[in-house]
Amino acid sequence: MVSRTYGWSPMPMATSPVIQSIVGPSQVAARDTASEFSEVLVRALALQAYKGSPEDPNELSFAMGEILEIEDQEGKWWLARKADGAFGIIHSNYVTVLPV
Q: How far apart are CA 91 and CA 8, in angstroms?
A: 31
3-state DSSP call for residue 25? helix
What CATH number does residue 92 fall under? 2.30.30.40
Query: What's the total number of domains in the chain?
Result: 1
Q: Output the pLDDT for position 4.
A: 46
* Tens place of pLDDT per residue across the chain (100 aa): 444 444 444 444 455 555 555 555 544 444 433 334 345 589 999 999 999 999 999 999 999 999 999 999 999 999 999 999 999 999 999 999 999 8
| 3 found inside a domain | no
DSSP label at residue 50: B
| 39 found inside a domain | yes
Q: What is the pTM of this model?
A: 0.60
* Domain encompassing residue 89: 15-97
Instruction: Collect all residues with Cβ–Cβ distance below 8 Å to 68 and sequence separation of at least 6.
Output: 43, 44, 45, 46, 60, 62, 80, 81, 82, 90, 95
